[in-house]
Structure 1
Amino acid sequence: MSDPEHPSGEATDVQAGKAPAVSSCAKRQLLAALTTTDVTIRRLDLLLSEANGQERVLATINYVASMLHHLTASAPWIALQTRLGILARLKGRVPKNVTPASSKSKFAALCSLASETRYNLRLFGLLPLWIWGAETLKSPPADPILHALTVLQVISNVIYQLLENVGYLASKGVVSKRFVDKYGGVAKWDIWSTRGWFGHIFFQFFVLWRQSVLRRQRLAAQRAAAGTVETKETKAEDSEALRLEIRAWRKSLVNNVFWAPLCLHWCFEKGIGIPDSMVGIISFCAGAWSLHDCWAGTATVKA
């Protein structure tokens, strides 16, 4: 007989009610995961659809792979792997004759692949430099010092990109290597190419200094003319524009500060003492802010 206080059908009804609820919850979680994945893929596709986004993603892969390669090749990491392997063998989880495969060569290969892909894409780098130079000639900066610095930067970048392209194509057999060897060889061309890049970085410090001076002068003039009638909307717009201007200035300064010592290191055959293990870290830090902004720019993508 069934207990009158606990009918036999009650447990069955509760279990039947729980099953659809659990199933519905799992479906919602699956749908949310698929939606998040879809939005992420769409944002990544939008990021990679622009040249700057492609460069930032490839550079990040390049630098992170470099960091992982040097990490897995470092003595502390090898010692840790050895100790873990000994512990695993003592517990009988790994046969004695089995050696775990090292991943450092894979990271080095990925780093090399990303770097070479960036070299290939930069073969077209002279085109935007032409546009930059043409726009500078057509609409030069009002400040004569900034105008002169911009012209010098354009020239430095053209030297950098032209020498890099010729050296890279010569290393691939596209351009006569005899011509390149006549003027020092591929390694020498790479060094002079890097010196052209360092010229841009060097002049950029003066550009940032001059922009800071002009901004202070402009703000002082605005404070002197504070008696003019301004609406709250105008003040808010000016404040936001100033905030974005200062943010862009700081972003450029951070990028320059990280690249300057590394680029100077590459300007000399023997370098200036920066170890290879630090190259990936410094390079990543130089572009991290830009990567963040590029990714944030894709936030408009919706499911």
Structure 2
Amino acid sequence: MSDNKAPSQADPAQPPSQGYAEKAGPIDPDQHRGLQKLPTDVKSTLGKIDALILQLTRTIKTTAGFSASLSSLNYSLYLLAYLHAQAPSRATLIARLSKILGRDVKLPPKALAPTPSPLLPLGLMVADFRTTLRLTGLLSLYVLLKSLLLQKGGDPLKHKILLVQCLGYIGFQATENILQLTNKGVLQPTLVARLGGAGGAANVMKWACRSWLVGVATDFFRLWRDATLMRERKTRERVSREEEEQFDAKWWADLQTCTAWLPVAIHYSVEGGLTGMNQGIVGFCGLMAGLNNFRAAWKGAAA
């Protein structure tokens, strides 16, 4: 068999050509004989669903869109798992209603015990998948660090802020990679034991989150410096309204994202976590940050 032979599209492991996905347009039910006889509302709904799927496909084709989609899914599962765990079971509702109605209904203790949510294992599986995908994150961070070190000109203060932020993310990514590879059996646990000391892997994870906190916290300083530079620029030259609106939209979106991440980063960085912080709050904060990034990727794919 020739090595240049095209792979068969019948192979389930072979994805369809990217060109087909790009050429596919929204479905028009009126142009399909099998759909023409459907009610107008049904045809309209089918068209909207098809357009939504196509837009989602274009969004997750980009690295940023795929990452934001997984992040939103991950933290929404955490939030739903928490709400599911807090919701009373059917047996508990029956017992409460019976008590209100004055009836004595005895249920076995096992029926009243809270049942674990299946959404939490799913959320943990998505989180593990995201961690595995981030194993290559050091490559892009290396390129970013190299560009910052070779950069000439620009604002010196912002350059220092970006440099500290990049080093923080490198520390986080390197530590997370060591933990992930150790958990998967690629690296020997002796390295984590040596790095974590008496605390072991938990201590290493704590320092990874502290490095992440450095990256999140410096984003506030970056935004402050960006706003200062924009004000100074507007005093020197004319800035178009369109450019100013684009700057403001991105600035506020970035502020919302880092504000949502900050309590999560602090929670995992301090001993014992933040008081009152639970899985539901972590899920909500992560979802808000993920949705901001997903919204930007969605708009970029639609452009």
TM-score calculated relative to the size of structure 1:
0.76
1:216 aligns with 2:242: no
Q: How does 1:219-238 map to 2 (within 5 A)?
A: 219-222=234-237, 238=240
In the alignment of these two chains, the number of paired residues is 257
Q: How does 1:159-170 map to 2 (within 5 A)?
A: 159-170=171-182
1:193 alignment counterpart: 208
Residue 135 of structure 1 deviates from its aligned partner by 2.0
Flag the 1:240–1:107 CA change in 2: closer, same or farther, 3 A.
same
Residue 289 of structure 1 deviates from its aligned partner by 1.9
Cα shift readout 1:238-287 (whole Å, capped 9, x = no counterpart): 11011111211111111111211220111123112122221101111222
Flag the 1:46–1:24 CA change in 2: closer, same or farther, 3 A.
closer
1:78 maps to a residue whose letter is P
2:93 aligned to 69, 75, 83, which one?
83
User: Of the two, which has the highest radius of gyration?
Assistant: 1
1:114 aligns with 2:126: yes
Q: Distance in 1 between matches of 2:246 and 2:128?
A: 34
Residue 159 of structure 1 deviates from its aligned partner by 0.6
Residue 149 of structure 1 deviates from its aligned partner by 1.1
Residue 105 of structure 1 deviates from its aligned partner by 2.6
1:287 alignment counterpart: 290
Flag the 1:85–1:44 CA change in 2: closer, same or farther, 3 A.
farther
Residue 29 of structure 1 deviates from its aligned partner by 4.4
1:125 aligns with 2:137: yes
1:240 aligned to 239, 242, 252, which one?
242
1:264 aligns with 2:266: yes
Q: Distance in 1 between matches of 2:53 and 2:116?
A: 28
Q: Contact 1:125/1:161 (CA < 8 Å) preserved in 2? A: yes
TM-score calculated relative to the size of structure 2:
0.76
Q: Structure 1: 5+ residue runs without aligned partners?
A: 1-22, 91-95, 224-234
Q: Distance in 2 between matches of 1:267 and 1:153?
A: 16
1:64 aligns with 2:67: no
Q: Contact 1:67/1:280 (CA < 8 Å) preserved in 2? A: yes
1:227 alignment counterpart: none
Cα shift readout 1:39-62 (whole Å, capped 9, x = no counterpart): 222111111111211111111111
1:9 alignment counterpart: none
Flag the 1:294–1:287 CA change in 2: closer, same or farther, 3 A.
same
1:150 alignment counterpart: 162
Residue 140 of structure 1 deviates from its aligned partner by 4.6
1:147 maps to a residue whose letter is H
Flag the 1:38–1:103 CA change in 2: closer, same or farther, 3 A.
farther
Q: Structure 2: 5+ residue runs without aligned partners?
A: 1-34, 102-106
2:228 maps to a residue whose letter is V
CA RMSD of aligned residues (A): 2.9
Flag the 1:125–1:81 CA change in 2: closer, same or farther, 3 A.
farther
Q: Contact 2:84/2:117 (CA < 8 Å) preserved in 1? A: no
Residue 86 of structure 1 deviates from its aligned partner by 8.2
2:151 alignment counterpart: 139
Q: Contact 1:171/1:186 (CA < 8 Å) preserved in 2? A: no
1:167 maps to a residue whose letter is L
